[in-house]
Amino acid sequence: MTTELIVAGFGGQGVLLFGKFLALSGLKEEKEVVWIPSYGPEMRGGTCNCTVVVSDDPIGSPIIDAPNTVVVMNKPSLTKFGPRVSSDGLLLINSSLIDTTSDRTDIKIETVPANEIALELGNGRAANMVALGAYIALTKAVKFDTVLDVIRESFAKKKEFIDLNLAAAKRGYELAS
């Protein structure tokens, strides 16, 4: 199985961390992985996205024109990347910040109120982990337990963030299951 993904939003939403955690999860499962972050010239608040490919087979090219999944965390990202989802692909929309959807009928469209859930858990900055959990539930790109392990390992030096991020990922996963 090969998963091609673009995660997009603005700086500070954790879209690069989402992609990195997916890539690390793929590595832990001994899959082939590509992670390419892309930043706008601004610091916080500017545009950013990342491309992630996770595959059981060697990856021919890290460049993706029509990914099978796009996760958008804000409206400008929906406008830019929504049209690029391949036919029969998945578009996952953060409905907390995006009040519209796509009119495409050839793809599956799912919404998750990532920011709302993160705020319910006590910190809006965990919206990326809500979206990651939902993405894993919808695609099965990697095992969810592997993602949870990566979260624990990645926040090992900042233990105060482990429980929040685990809870956020679990809520996203449960919501999308």
State yes or no: pLDDT of 5 exceeds 70.
yes
- DSSP per-residue letters across 69-119: EEEESSHHHHHHHGGGSPTT-EEEEETTT-------SSSEEEEE-HHHHHH
Asked if 4 and 69 touch (Cβ cutoff 8 Å), the reply is yes
Tell me if the domain spanning 2-176 has CATH number 2.30.42.10.
Answer: no
**pLDDT at position 47:** 77
**pLDDT at position 44:** 60
CA distance 131 to 146: 16
Angle at 51 between CA 32 and CA 175, to 5 degrees: 90
Sign of CA dihedral 147, 150, 151, 152: positive
Average confidence score pLDDT of the chain? 94
pLDDT (tens digit per residue) in 31-82: 999 999 997 665 566 779 999 999 999 998 888 999 999 999 999 999 999 9
State yes or no: pLDDT of 159 exceeds 80.
yes
Domain residue spans of the chain: 2-176
Listed residue (100, 3, 95) closest to 53, CA to CA: 3
CA distance 119 to 101: 22
The radius of gyration of the chain's CA atoms, rounded to the nearest angstrom, is 15
Report, as an integer, the average pLDDT of 89-103.
95
Q: pLDDT > 70: what percent of the chain?
A: 96
pLDDT (tens digit per residue) in 116-130: 999 999 999 999 999
In terms of phi and psi (left: phi > 0; alpha: psi -120 to 50; beta: otherwise), the region of 98 is beta
